[in-house]
Amino acid sequence: MTFHEAFRVAWRGLRANRLRSLLTMLGIMIGVAAVILLIALGNGTSARLNQQIASLGTNLIGVFQSRGNVAASGRNQPLTDKDVKALQTASEAPRILSVTPVKQASAVLNFQNSPWRTSIAGSTQDYLAAFHRTMARGSFFADSDVHTSARVVVLGDKPVQKLFGGVRAGALGQKIRIGRQTFQVVGVLEPNGLNDDIAVMPISAARNYLVGGDDDVDQIVVEATSQAAVPATMAKVTRVMLDRHSITNLSQKDFEVHSNLELLKQYTQVTDVFTLFLVAIAAISLLVGGIGVMNIMLVTVTERTREIGIRKAVGARRRAILKQFLIESVVLAGIGGIVGVLVGVGLSLLGATIGASVGQFAPPQLSTGSVVLAFTVSLCIGLFFGAYPANRAARLRPIDALRYE
Amino acid sequence: MIQLDSISKVYRTGDSEVRALDEVDLAVAAGELVAIMGPSGSGKSTMMNILGCLDAPSSGRYLLGGTDVSRLDDDDLADIRNQRIGFVFQAYNLLARTSALANVELPLLYAKDRSRTRRALAALDEVGLSDRAHHLPNELSGGQQQRVAIARALVTEPTMLLADEPTGNLDSSASAEIAQLLVRLSEAGRTVVLITHEAEIAACAKRIVRLRDGRIVGDTAGDTAGDTAGDTAAPENRSGAEAG
């Protein structure tokens, strides 16, 4: 019996029980479609996240105060302007572009009796470069404003929404109250989707009017010349800081150095696990579909015991019977797989179209690999779950099979 | 053609042992029409299974057309059934929803034969059903279905046609028709072994072998007379020439 003939016999078998075959295919179809769609969703989310983190700047290094380690003195030294100075001096080393201190606070902004509490960042004119931000309107404050503790502020998108109803041009030049002082809005930041509920002012103004006059800072952002220079720059920053804080024992290091690149890697890991998790769920539904195939094939073999007996009586070898039922289960799973691919691809494309118009939702990204994988797996399921029933059919003794009612 | 040398078949169920066939010797020459008769439990079915290579004997030797088939494995037995044995069953055993022609082609499907349709049509012609080739089994009468089954048995030009109660499900006129067909085939030189409990069907055989309790208790010439060994092979005999 050639493959073509075996296929025809199998096809006739499937057509004899159309509804049953369709329902079994449905099980595989749902599994395959789910695998394709969920991989696409995972990829889309991952890509969106990577893009957002990359937009933060992958050449940036942050220095923070340590949470866990305790210095030998028992008192952790805060990060101060002196640290910033030391790093800026070291920045003669060609890998460092800028060193930016940030002092954080929280305060209520008020304009014409519409208050809004937001995060305050006191920083220098390098803030834009250090956080990969761009201006939507106006201009950022200048070096001179930092020296004079000028009461000027640059607003993020959220405060503009809340205070000025989203009219950026309307915000520009307005005087708003922050704490007990009046500040002039000199610019509006372009939103980046991550840190838009913010107001940025000169670090000196933040210290003088909002958080007190110490010279300590919460964060120092070091801008490396490129992503490739990040590891070397991190080492350099660590050396300078260890030196500044007179630390020899690394377990007593009272500061931490992180890069966005690390963050990117961490997030990539998280999204990979997330995608894997989704795919595992989809794989379970494929497995259930496979069990459905096996179930139906066992029923089919039992129902057609007599037919098997006849075929064996007229000279079908074991392999011929095995082939017939294996092809039947593979065709069953394969057609389910093809329809599943069509549905999965269709839903992913639909999702991508909708996702492009709905901002919050990361559009699914189809990958050829997932389509090929899902279809191949469906064929393998047909083979794997069909093997036992087909083998059972092949092993039937002709006298028993012929006598079966 | 067919030779059984002290064939025994023993079934064991728990401690008890049933000797369904007990040292049976039987020789059937080419072109013979032999009826095997016996009451139920006499070993007829076991005889049929062993003659048909559907089951292996517990001991003894079975030569079919010169080949010892008593020690072959499943796949070799499948080939023997395909090439040398044509089965006719009481319940016809045609594949449902499959045309008469496709049913007759079935053995050729497993024989890797390229000229299936031509040979199947020839076999249908031989049983006088070439005009029903594309009918489904449920569109045919019982007698016609059995003739399709006979065509299927003939299509590979087997050494032996093995008919197990071929008229058991048929009315008397259809039975007579089938009996006549078997006689005609035998006269054309085919070896036919007919297993039946109906005396009038057995009567058309030239030789009747009677079984009881797994042993042969009688081996006589049938009512239609004529010496058993006498009219074996007619000159135009196809299967005889093949086996010779």
Q: What is the pLDDT of residues B171-192, one digit of tens each?
A: 999 999 999 999 999 998 899 9
| Cβ neighbours of A166 (radius 10 Å) | 12
* A402–chain B Cβ distance below 8 A for any pair: yes
Say how far apart CA A203 and CA A79 lie, in whole Å.
Answer: 14
If you compute the radius of gyration of chain A from its CA atoms, what whole number of angstroms results? 33
Region A106-128: what's the mean pLDDT? 90
Averaged pLDDT, A113-130: 90
pTM: 0.74
Residue type, B113: D
Q: What are phi and psi of A338, to 5 degrees?
A: -65, -45
The CA distance from B221 to the nearest CA of chain A, in Å, is 30
Question: Which residues on chain B place their C-beta less than 8 Å from a C-beta of chain A?
Answer: 49, 52, 54-55, 74-75, 78-79, 81-83, 87, 89, 93-95, 97-98, 106-107, 109-112, 152, 156
Question: Which residues from B are below 8 Å from A5, CB to CB?
Answer: 109
> Do residues A195 and A156 make contact, with C-beta atoms less than 8 angstroms apart?
yes
Q: Which helix (H) or strand (E) segment is B33 a member of?
A: strand B33-37
Give me the count of residues in chain B: 244
Mean pLDDT (chain A, rounded): 88
**Interval B64-94: pLDDT, tens:** 988 899 888 889 999 999 999 999 999 999 9
* Upper half-sphere CA count for residue B211 (Cβ side, 13 Å): 29
Helices (H), chain B: 44-51, 74-84, 100-109, 116-126, 142-154, 172-187, 199-202, 238-243
Residue B175: CB partners within 8 Å, gap ≥ 6? B167, B198, B200, B201
Residue among B128, B174, B180, B134 nearest B151 (CA): B128
Q: Name the one residue in this structure whose structure tokens are 């794989």.
A: A283
Match 């395909």 to its residue by tokens.
B82
For A268-314, give the DSSP string: HHHHHHHHHHHHHHHHHHHHHHHHHHHHHHHHHHHHTHHHHHHHHHT
**Chain A nearest C-alpha distance from B87 (Å):** 7
Nearest CA in chain A to B112: A1
Residue B7 contacts residue B59 (beta carbons within 8 Å): yes
pLDDT 10s digits, A218-260: 999 998 888 888 888 888 888 888 888 888 877 778 888 888 8
Nearest-Cα distance to chain B for A302, in Å, is 15
Q: How confident is the model at residue A383 (pLDDT cuts 50, 70, 90)?
A: very high
User: What pLDDT, on the 0 to 100 scale, is given for residue B224?
Assistant: 47
What pLDDT, on a 0 to 100 scale, did the predictor assign at position B209? Answer: 93
3-state secondary structure of B59: strand
Tallying the residues shown for chain A, one arrives at 405
Whether the CB-CB separation of B196 and B167 falls below 8 Å is answered with yes
The domain ranges of chain B are 29-228
- At A216-229, the pLDDT tens digits run 899 999 988 888 88
Cβ contact B110–A314 (<8 Å): yes
Q: How far apart are CA B23 and CA B186, in angstroms?
A: 28
CB A105, CB A210: distance < 8 Å: yes
Q: Write out chain A residues lying below 8 Å of B112, CB-based.
A: 1
Residue A322 has pLDDT above 90, yes or no: yes
* Domain B29-228 of CATH type 3.40.50.300: yes
Q: Which residue has the tokens 């028992």?
A: A74
Does residue A266 carry a pLDDT above 70? yes
Q: List, for residues B131-157, the tens digit of each pLDDT value.
A: 999 999 999 999 999 999 999 999 999
Substitution target in B48, B93, B165 with the highest count of A β-carbons within 10 Å is: B93
User: Facing residues of A185 across strands?
Assistant: A153
